Structure 1
């Protein structure tokens, strides 16, 4: 009996990047908004940001998630990982017989 094949290497990398960056963005948002009041934010020091607190939390989380995912995917791309080991073929001709 053979087991069903798992996800490909690219899918596994994408899942690892997405999940780790999701957790990191959550921690980063908690740290930022523990210090910053969303109602006191201003656009580069001028006009106040006219968004609700929930919208600011959501927007900042998505920005944090994207930036952390970009950094994680770049780090993963720079790592030289060996390719998956080829599986031996059953009943292939050759040695040993």
Structure 2
């Protein structure tokens, strides 16, 4: 059951992170941001990777919170 909940969180958040990455980087080139190349010293592929995992973590948090709030309260659903 816990593995089922894990995949309820991870799978949609991975798809959402991929979609967010496509949307953000279709408009923004990571090497055009001045602080990325000089301060972090990473390549554009590194920026894409870090952004994907940041998006994945944020969306996973939202999915986890949604799954937590959707649980029944004392055997009854919480009133909306």
Q: TM-score, normalised by structure 1?
A: 0.66
- RMSD between superposed Cα atoms in Å: 2.0
Structure with greater Cα Rg: 1
- Structure 1 equivalent of residue 11 of structure 2: 19
Deviations 1:38-73 (CA, angstroms, capped at 9, x unpaired): 111244xxx665310100000000000000001100
- 1:73–1:62: structure 2 CA closer, same or farther, 3 Å change rule? same
Matched, 1:74 2:65: yes
**How far apart, in 2, do the equivalents of 1:74 and 1:59 lie?**
23
- 1:61–1:49: structure 2 CA closer, same or farther, 3 Å change rule? same
The structure whose RCO (Cα within 8 Å, separation 6+) is larger is 2
- Structure 2 equivalent of residue 62 of structure 1: 53
- Structure 2 equivalent of residue 35 of structure 1: 27
Q: TM-score, normalised by structure 2?
A: 0.79
List runs of 5+ in structure 1 lacking aligned partners: 1-7, 83-97
Deviations 1:3-61 (CA, angstroms, capped at 9, x unpaired): xxxxx2x2111111100000000000000000001111244xxx665310100000000
List runs of 5+ in structure 2 lacking aligned partners: 74-80
